Amino acid sequence: MDNLMVTATELIAQETRRVEASSQNVANTATPGYKSLISFKQELTAQEPRHLGATPRMHGITISTDFSNGKLVHTGNPLDIAINGPGLFTLSTDDGVVYTRAGSFRRDADGRLVTGRGGYLQSAEGGDIVVQTSDWHVESDGTVIDGGAPVATVGIVEFEAGVNLVRKGNSLFAADPALAPPMEQRVVSSTLVQGFVEMANVAVGKDMIQVMESMRRIEAGQKVIHAYDDMMGNVLQRLGDM
């Protein structure tokens, strides 16, 4: 019977994580560059039996990130830059280097390209990208042309399957120092498109269905726990009457 309670509580905890992930996705549908969270159940692992009746234990739900490209939307704003391909922009922030697919920038007083949250776009050569004139644009290969002359190359990198990245916000990622050194390289397969912004890669309908299914499973787990509590209450009451 204890195994029943363990299973019910694990079910509630796992489905709660699914609800949280899907809810975060839906809340960020309009967030440029947002990468949706995906949840999947880890494989059952056989527990070495210490007594008869030992059962395999589930390791729970794994929450991962879907790095597939979102839809590119034309804005006509030259400060909006989108990536075609697997690359990410490199940003310098007060908390260190981070990476993003959100390519909405502005120019500060020094001509540096900066995100709304204060991340400075980095060049492939190292350092902030600075444009001094209004006559500037970005080539598809990342070359920044300012006043008719190339001044920098946008620092676009990719990580092998995203395995070395951890989320630092809705649209920011950082290399995880606890993992193996990141497989980072200059991206040649990705191209840049100026005047476009990448939207979130969220499938709202799928996430809404996931929330409803998870809520039904949570309710089922709660019913099992309530039934168990009622049964144990009746047992204790009968023992007390003896």
Percent of the chain with pLDDT over 90: 44
Of the ranges 89-98, 185-194, 209-218, the best mean pLDDT one? 89-98
Whole-number pLDDT of residue 77: 96
Percent of the chain with pLDDT over 70: 77
Residue 191 pLDDT grade (very low, low, confident, very high; cuts 50, 70, 90): very high
This prediction's pTM: 0.77
Whole-number pLDDT of residue 149: 96
Q: Could you state, in order of their start, the residue ranges of all structural domains in the chain? A: 2-67+202-241, 72-198
**How would you label 119-141 residue by residue, b for 16+ Cβ within 10 Å and e otherwise?**
bbbbbbeeebbbbeeeebebeee
**Left if phi > 0, otherwise alpha if psi is -120 to 50, otherwise beta: which for 134?**
alpha
Tell me the average pLDDT of the chain: 81
Dihedral of CA atoms 108, 109, 111, 112 in degrees, nearest 10, equals: -40
Query: Cα(119)–Cα(90) distance, rounded to whole angstroms?
Result: 9
Q: Is the pLDDT of residue 206 over 70?
A: yes
**Which range, of 16-20, 79-83, 108-112, 213-217, averages the lowest pLDDT?**
213-217
As to burial, measured by CB atoms within 10 angstroms (0-12 exposed, 13-18 middle, 19+ buried), residue 213 is middle
- Is 120 within 8 Å of 107 (Cβ atoms)? no
Whole-number pLDDT of residue 223: 75
The DSSP line for 65-82 is E------EEE---TTBEE
